[in-house]
Amino acid sequence: MLQGTGSDVGKTVLVAGLCRLAANRGLAVRPFKPQNMSNNAAVADDGGEIGRAQWLQSLAARTRSSVHMNPVLLKPQSENGSQIIVQGRVFGQAKGRGYQRLKPQLLGAVLASFEKVAEGADLVIVEGAGSPAEINLRAGDIANMGFATRADVPVVLVGDIDRGGVIASLVGTHAILDEADRAMISGYIINKFRGDVSLFDDGIRAIEGFTGWPCFGVVPWLSGAARLPAEDSVVLERLARGGTGALKVAVPVLPRIANFDDFDPLRAEPDVELTFVRAGERLPADAGLVVLPGSKSTISDLADFRAQGWDRDLDAHVRRGGRVIGICGGYQMLGRMVHDPLGIEGGRQETPGLGLLDVETEMAPEKTVRNSHARSTEYDTPLSGYQIHLGITRGPDCDRPSAIVDGVPDGAVSADGRIMGTYLHGLFSSDAYRARLLESFGLSGRHGNYRESVERALDEVAGELERCLDAWWLGELLG
């Protein structure tokens, strides 16, 4: 089990890389994460929601994804409340303290899923969440040491040297863990190192002197990781901005943005300048395309969209002849009205939309969760993706669907064809659709195979880990 000295230390990529390394050696390897908090969800091959990170790790492991790989998924809906997904299905909602009381009840499901994932596997690589150093959350813990001690899984601690203070974070973790938890840790990995690794030799000796833990490797900054789908929206703050692409695509970053990895295929296109627009910034006037992303809370994010003045920016963009695509919650926002008669999202029960599509959405308790095969009606190209949404959208513009999904019309297109909405996530992952979209903006040339680029990045990460991690430890791990 890989646990971190903090959040965003790179555990997800390390687990994915180790899964690919094990799979390349012919092992039946499976990823597992007891508890995840993310609005970047995927639909597992056996149905139900899991974190996109575990979907990526299953791809790295060359195995089918399962809801049991991420038995507890928390999807934040407000500042202090989340929807709880257990083994792929909606379990309920809870705020911070309420969830802390609920965690012990979920341990049984976590352990049962772990046993399910382990069936027939040579190796299971587990990813922790946050840090075991958060000892204020240790009671009832299911994400880190609470799971490791119950399942008897040895732990490797991961420290991020790029953010600074890695020696103190590792030694501090050793100092504050109780004896039983500390005994689970077999060693540590230093991640995201830049420069001459030998310069950290004294640091390794210091950490061993304080903790007695061996170092299992110093991992450099992995360039391949940038080509992998990101899990946590904190990554949006670090994505490169600007660029020289001929087409500027603007994406407003909503407070509860969901499934933002929809845009990774566009970000990989050399002719595209993908700009994530943060709070306090304007939608760029020179954007050719604005894409409204998915949202975990459509009504709240719509209010924030207006508070930022982005509604006025979007109207100006449309008047200039610009195009707009809305995905899932972004699609719902483009309509005339969003109704929530049952208060599913809480707060206001009805709010005006942006009025760019002649449709209305009504929130409903039944949640659509499925992988889908589709076809673009605009370009007559194949699409594949997934749907995770609440709500039913109807209106005259639905008579011009944006796609046929699983044999059923989906989405809507405005009469002039410049505004489009869809419930299909993964739209831009279709190489044929993405190529035709870019061609409609006058961009020609060879467009890459996105799925192949992800596969190559996973192999690249695995190869780098094989070179830099301790050979003895890898031998113990992989046989």
What is the per-residue pLDDT for 97? 81
Sign of CA dihedral 175, 181, 186, 189: negative
pLDDT digits (tens, 9 = 90+) for 343-400: 888 766 889 999 999 999 999 888 999 999 999 999 999 999 999 999 999 999 999 9
Q: Are residues 312 and 216 in the same domain?
A: no
Across 139-157, average pLDDT: 96
**Percent above pLDDT 90 for the chain:** 83
Same domain membership, residue 364 and residue 297: yes
Instruction: Find the mean pLDDT for residues 265-288.
Output: 94
Q: Residue 362: its pLDDT value, please?
A: 95
Two tokens, residue 278 = 């943060």
In Å, what is the CA distance from 130 to each residue of 236, 289, 320, 379, 404?
Answer: 18, 36, 45, 43, 40
**b/e 146-177 (16+ beta carbons within 10 angstroms → b):** bbbeebeeebbbbbbbeeeebbebbbebbeeb
**Residues making up the chain, counted from first to last:** 479
Q: Are residues 132 and 261 in the same domain?
A: no
| pLDDT exceeds cutoff 60 at 61 | yes
Q: How far apart are CA 100 and CA 43, in angstroms?
A: 26
Average pLDDT, the chain: 93
Please measure the distance between the N-terminal and C-terminal CA atoms of the chain and give it in whole angstroms: 17
- 61 within a domain of the structure (yes/no): yes
Looking at the structure, do residues 43 and 136 belong to the same domain, yes or no?
A: yes
What pLDDT is recorded for position 344? 80
236 has pLDDT over 70: no
User: Residue 414 pLDDT > 50, yes or no?
Assistant: yes
* Per-residue model confidence (pLDDT) at position 318: 98
Is residue 203 in a domain? yes
CATH number for 372? 3.40.50.880
pLDDT greater than 70 at residue 241:
no
Catalytic positions are: 328, 425
* Count of Cβ atoms closer than 10 Å to residue 469 Cβ: 21
| Alpha-carbon distance values, 425 to 4, 28, 299 (Å) | 30, 29, 19
Structure tokens at 406: 């699983």
What's the confidence (pLDDT) of residue 242? 43
pTM beyond 0.85: the answer is: yes
Provide the residue range defining the domain that includes 371. Answer: 247-442
Which residue, 25, 60, 45, is CA-closest to 459?
Answer: 60
pLDDT value, residue 121: 97
Same domain flag for 130 and 15: yes
Q: Kindly report, residue by residue over 439-463, the tens digit of the pLDDT.
A: 999 997 566 799 999 999 999 999 9
Q: What percent of the chain has pLDDT over 70?
A: 95
What CATH number has the domain bearing residue 27?
A: 3.40.50.300
Is position 129 within any domain?
yes
Residue 458: what pLDDT? 97
Is 237 part of any domain?
no
pLDDT at residue 261 greater than cutoff 60: yes
Contact assessment for residue 1 and residue 128, using Cβ atoms and an 8 Å cutoff? yes
Residue 418 has a pLDDT of 97
Confidence of residue 237 (pLDDT cuts 50, 70, 90): low
pLDDT value at residue 244: 63
Same domain, 193 and 220: yes
Instruction: Note the pLDDT of residue 245.
Output: 78
Does any domain span residue 263? yes
Residue 150 or residue 163, greater confidence: 150
Q: Where residue 94 falls among pLDDT bands split at 50, 70, 90?
A: confident
Determine the pLDDT at residue 80: 54
Per-residue pLDDT, 101? 85
pLDDT at 230 over 80: no
- The number of domains in the chain is 2
| In a shared domain, residues 470 and 432 | no
Same domain, 204 and 338: no
242 assigned to some structural domain: no
Q: Are residues 212 and 316 in the same domain?
A: no
Looking at the fold, whether 428 and 308 belong to one and the same domain comes out as yes
Q: Which residue has the higher pLDDT, 82 or 190?
A: 190
* Assigned domain for 234 exists: no
pLDDT > 70? residue 238: no
Q: Determine, yes or no, domain membership for 236.
A: no
Task: Give the per-residue pLDDT at 239.
Answer: 52
* Widest distance between CA atoms in the chain: 71
Token readout for 273 is: 């300048």
Does 438 share its domain with 375?
A: yes
Same domain (yes/no): 284, 184: no
